[in-house]
């Protein structure tokens, strides 16, 4: 089986690639499991060393739109595509043209490339909880369900919703087997901060654990819908594995979410790394970030995901402890007993 991951050298893309390679086989769209022969990573930056050394990894470097324009992607014989490449929320608000090019134009070009293949590959599109937003004309319900009408209030969410609709129509026409998956905010992400408005939801844990100060730009009682990296990858893989009847409607599936307040996240950090960690948090409200994050839902009922066997993380303290175990070199503070 030949698999393509756009944005494949980023955090989620690389983690997904490692998971696929470790499995060695995959049951695609309800079919019997097949060996994974090639995982092609498309990105602007090269893959991490461990992936680059694996003979099953192929790397296609460059701007995704340019690679699609010159027909380097999608590669012939690809059976499964994970479309993870995107400009993130803060970037899209700051640069409208960047968001439209990265999130809308690239998605349509990728779908056109799949159409030209004529092989109806499975395409898993990483959408976002940001397709839901609060407005005076149509306030968010207390709990988001799979059939809740998306009302995005920012460029990023609007572009992701347009991408969902494109995938749905190309699926309806039989050009791809589309799977729209709405990701929750992923925390804790390792590495450096990115341009997402939600970046602080990892930074407020990652930086203090490394002994570095971190800014928290929202009110402590702000509630958010989170998913650990492991749970997010599980959701993407399950979307690829589900048969069309099992997947059901062409509309997107909300991944399960752990609802937690920013105050509770800080308390979980203190239980893991003590008061020295939370002393490194600078609570400094940013009205722009607050407006974006405050428009996203915090409570999600993921009935379709539950039917697919997916579950939310049990608690945020365990999510932090998983990050510590997976990234020991990034942790500089002494930890509390029980880790």
CATH of the domain at 40: 3.40.50.720
Q: Quick one: 308 and 241 in the same domain? A: no
Q: Quick one: 250 and 262 in the same domain? A: no
Q: Quick one: 293 and 320 in the same domain? A: yes
**Tens digit of each residue's pLDDT (9 = 90 or more) over 88-122:** 988 999 999 999 999 999 999 999 999 999 999 99
Instruction: Name the pTM for this structure.
Output: 0.95
- CATH of residue 320's domain is 3.90.25
- Which residues contact residue 213 at a Cβ distance below 8 angstroms, ignoring those fewer than 6 apart? 207, 280, 281, 282
Q: Quick one: 210 and 120 in the same domain? A: no
Q: Determine contact, residues 265/316, Cβ cutoff 8 Å.
A: yes
Residue with the bigger pLDDT between 292 and 74: it is 74
Average pLDDT over every residue of 23-40: 98
Q: Quick one: 103 and 250 in the same domain? A: yes
Average pLDDT over the chain, rounded to whole? 95
- State the first-to-last Cα distance of the chain, in angstroms, to the nearest integer: 39
Q: How far apart are CA 249 and CA 74, in angstroms?
A: 25
Q: Determine contact, residues 219/266, Cβ cutoff 8 Å.
A: no
Q: Quick one: 125 and 234 in the same domain? A: yes
Q: Is the pLDDT of residue 338 over 70?
A: no
**What does the pLDDT read at residue 209?**
97
Structural domain contains residue 339: no
The domain total for the chain is 2
Structural domain contains residue 338: no
Q: How far apart are CA 91 and CA 101, in angstroms?
A: 12
Q: Quick one: 215 and 235 in the same domain? A: no
For residue 182, name the pLDDT band (cuts at 50, 70, 90).
very high
Q: Quick one: 214 and 248 in the same domain? A: no
Catalytic residues, which ones? 156
Q: Quick one: 241 and 276 in the same domain? A: no
Q: Quick one: 297 and 320 in the same domain? A: yes
Q: Which domain holds residue 163?
A: 2-184+228-254
Average pLDDT over every residue of 65-74: 96
Structural domain contains residue 195: no
Q: Is the pLDDT of residue 322 over 70?
A: yes
Q: Quick one: 34 and 128 in the same domain? A: yes
Q: Is the pLDDT of residue 174 over 90?
A: yes
For residue 337, name the pLDDT band (cuts at 50, 70, 90).
low
From the list 41, 33, 35, 49, the residue with the least C-alpha distance to 12 is 41
Does the N-terminal peptide bond of residue 228 adopt cis geometry, omega within 30 degrees of 0?
no
Structural domain contains residue 337: no
């Amino acid at each position: 089986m030949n698999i393509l991951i756009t944005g494949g050298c980023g955090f989620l893309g690389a983690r997904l690639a490692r998971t696929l390679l470790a499995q060695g086989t995959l049951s695609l769209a309800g079919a019997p499991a097949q060996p994974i022969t090639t995982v092609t990573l498309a990105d602007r930056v090269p893959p991490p060393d461990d992936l680059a050394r694996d003979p099953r990894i192929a790397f296609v470097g460059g701007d995704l739109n340019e690679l699609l324009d010159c027909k380097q992607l999608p590669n012939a014989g690809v059976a499964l595509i994970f479309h993870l490449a995107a400009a993130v929320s803060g970037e899209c608000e700051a640069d409208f043209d960047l968001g439209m090019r990265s999130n809308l134009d690239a998605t349509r070009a990728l779908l056109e490339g799949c159409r030209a293949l004529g092989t109806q590959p499975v395409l898993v599109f990483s959408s976002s909880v940001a397709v839901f937003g609060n407005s005076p004309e149509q306030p968010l319900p207390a709990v988001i369900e799979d059939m809740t009408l998306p009302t995005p209030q920012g460029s990023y969410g609007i572009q992701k919703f347009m991408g969902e609709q494109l995938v749905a129509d190309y699926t309806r026409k039989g050009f791809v087997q589309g799977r729209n998956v709405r990701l929750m905010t992923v925390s804790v992400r390792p590495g450096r901060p990115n341009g997402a408005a939600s970046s602080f939801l990892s930074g407020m844990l990652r930086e203090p654990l490394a002994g570095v100060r971190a800014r928290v730009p929202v009110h402590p009682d702000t509630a958010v819908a989170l998913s650990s990296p492991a749970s997010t990858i599980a959701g993407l893989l399950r979307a690829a594995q589900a048969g069309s009847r099992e997947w059901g409607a062409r509309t997107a599936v909300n991944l399960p979410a752990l609802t937690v307040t920013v105050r509770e996240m800080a308390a979980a950090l203190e239980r893991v790394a003590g008061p020295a960690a939370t002393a490194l948090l600078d609570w400094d409200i940013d009205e722009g970030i607050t407006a974006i994050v405050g428009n996203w839902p915090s409570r999600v009922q993921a009935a379709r995901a539950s039917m697919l066997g997916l579950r939310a993380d049990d608690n945020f303290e365990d999510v932090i402890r998983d990050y510590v175990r997976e990234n020991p070199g990034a942790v500089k503070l002494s930890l509390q007993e029980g880790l």
